[in-house]
Amino acid sequence: MLVLSRKVGERIWIGEDISVTVVRVSGGGVRLGIEAPHELPVVREELKQRLAEMNPDAEIDSTVSDTLGG
């Protein structure tokens, strides 16, 4: 795991087309902005776990956030 320090407004890049920006830090929480190609699903871990519980054979795709209300 790569661990980086960033300030609000700073960004990291993953490959050529995925960026993660620190939007806000407050009260022990961090708000991140993620820009990625539409066909690449970006899902919070708790939603991925809920999907696995609902259907262990399902794969995460770009519709998962709509399905789980994300």
Domains: count for the chain: 2
Same domain? For 27 and 3 the reply is yes
State how far the Cα of 32 lies from the Cα of 8, in Å rounded to an integer.
9
Would you state the pLDDT for residue 64?
A: 55
From residue 31, alpha-carbon distances to 25, 59, 61 in Å are 6, 26, 23
User: Whole domain around residue 17: which residue ranges?
Assistant: 1-36
**DSSP annotation string for 54-69:** H-TT----TTHHHHTT
| Terminal CA-CA length for the chain | 26
Which of these, 46, 19, 35, lies nearest to 6 by C-alpha position? Answer: 19
**Residue 63: which pLDDT band, with cuts at 50, 70 and 90?**
low
**Structure confidence by residue, pLDDT tens digits, 21-58:** 999 999 999 999 999 999 998 999 999 888 888 887 76
pTM for this structure?
0.73
Same domain? For 28 and 50 the reply is no
